[in-house]
A = this chain, B = another copy of it.
Amino acid sequence: MPETIRRPDRLPENRYGNRPTMKDVAARAGVGLKTVSRVVNGEPGVTPETERRVQEAIDALGFRRNDSARVLRKGRTASIGLVLEDLADPFYGPLSRAVEEVARAHGALLINGSSAEDPDREQELALALCARRVDGLVVIPAGDDHRYLEPELKAGVATVFVDRPAGQIDADCVLSDNRGGARDGVAHLIGHGHRRIGFIGDMPRIHTAAERLRGYRAAMEDAGIPVEDAWMSLGVTDPERVRRAAEEMLTGPSPVTAVFAANNRVTVTVIRVLAAHARPVALVGFDDFELADLLQPGVTVVAQDSAALGRTAAERLFRQLDGTLVAPERIELPTRLITRGSGELPPSG
């Protein structure tokens, strides 16, 4: 197909398909442009009769206001961005739901996407949202350097980090008390007589993982129990390797009688290993999950309130936008130990 040399700037008339504009509505209703705008936005100063004519034209043409133009003119988009780690992770469902509810209450829409735990993708996504001029950003960080957001912060984009703190910049963040929660969970096992307790968690470069490890160490130290290296498995995430790590600490020279699983993925895998294991082994997991109570035995967990994380973050974000908030703060929400059986098994073997 030969390339057209001079295509007119104005496409025939099918931009956005061929949506009618206020101008079209005005022409059809026989009124001025601004009058249509007034009707659409419910501004006062329009006779009922005029309003009726305009409304009629709107319905007839199927007019819908173009919010891009509106945003351009007004400067506020009434939308906030949410950068998740993984949309499909059940832990984030209630969180994003909570963010959405708060946004809705403030008349804002939610735009979101997942970083898939990739720092570059997190940055790409966050900046794309800023280019859309979202009013604010809720970020669950994948990376640990967020200086790329500095111009945005300076430009007034409200920003709150959730679940993990921001890196290299001073910003609001809302976290769970990871260290305290892990400490409670491990102390619970110690309270039931365990001394050889295993820990399986993610890489310590991830803030939550590091904090939970600290909690484990603190609880052990409080009880005066020296920790053996063979009891700890760090940075192992895929099910197969978690399985192997669990089996090693169960059968090693100094076998553990209890396991602390530092996140829900690990917990589920460990449950599978323990189910196939002859000797009963106690288990406490970080993060609650559905049906934990129906397993045999029920799984004792340190639960974080992911909905509260989302709600708190979103509320802070809108308070930043109101201007009622100035100094960045770090908020830690408490966790809750839920006993269901697996954490109360006595030591054996």
Contact = CB atoms under 8 A, between A and B. Distances in A.
A16 B156 contact: yes
Contacts of A109: 111, 113, 128-129, 132
Contact of A75 (B15, B113, B294): B15
A62 B62 CA distance: 40
Nearest to A66: B133
For A88, A152, A154, A294, which residue has the most chain B Cβ atoms within 10 angstroms?
A88
Given A114-B97, A290-B90, A131 B295 contact: no
Given A86-B97, A93-B89, A109-B128, A64 B152 contact: yes
B62 A154 contact: yes
A97 B112 CA distance: 11
Contacts of A16: 75, 133, 155-156
A227 interface: no
Contact of A272 (B17, B65, B128, B294): B294
A11 interface: yes
Contacts of A89: 93
B97 A88 contact: yes
A130 B19 CA distance: 11
A93 B100 contact: no
A109 to B, nearest CB: 6
A228 to B, nearest CB: 29
A87 to B, nearest CB: 4
Given A86-B97, A290-B290, 20 more contacts: A16-B155, A17-B157, A18-B156, A62-B150, A64-B130, A64-B151, A65-B131, A66-B72, A87-B93, A88-B93, A88-B96, A97-B114, A100-B114, A109-B111, A110-B112, A268-B290, A271-B291, A271-B294, A294-B295, A295-B295
Interface residues of A, number: 61
A155 B19 contact: yes
Interface of A: 11, 14-19, 62-69, 71-72, 75, 77, 79, 86-90, 93-94, 96-97, 100, 104, 109-114, 127-133, 150-152, 154-157, 268, 271-272, 275, 289-291, 294-296
A77 to B, nearest CB: 7
A295 B290 CA distance: 12
A100 B116 CA distance: 11
A100 B87 contact: yes
A133 B17 CA distance: 11
Contact of A133 (B68, B79, B290): B68
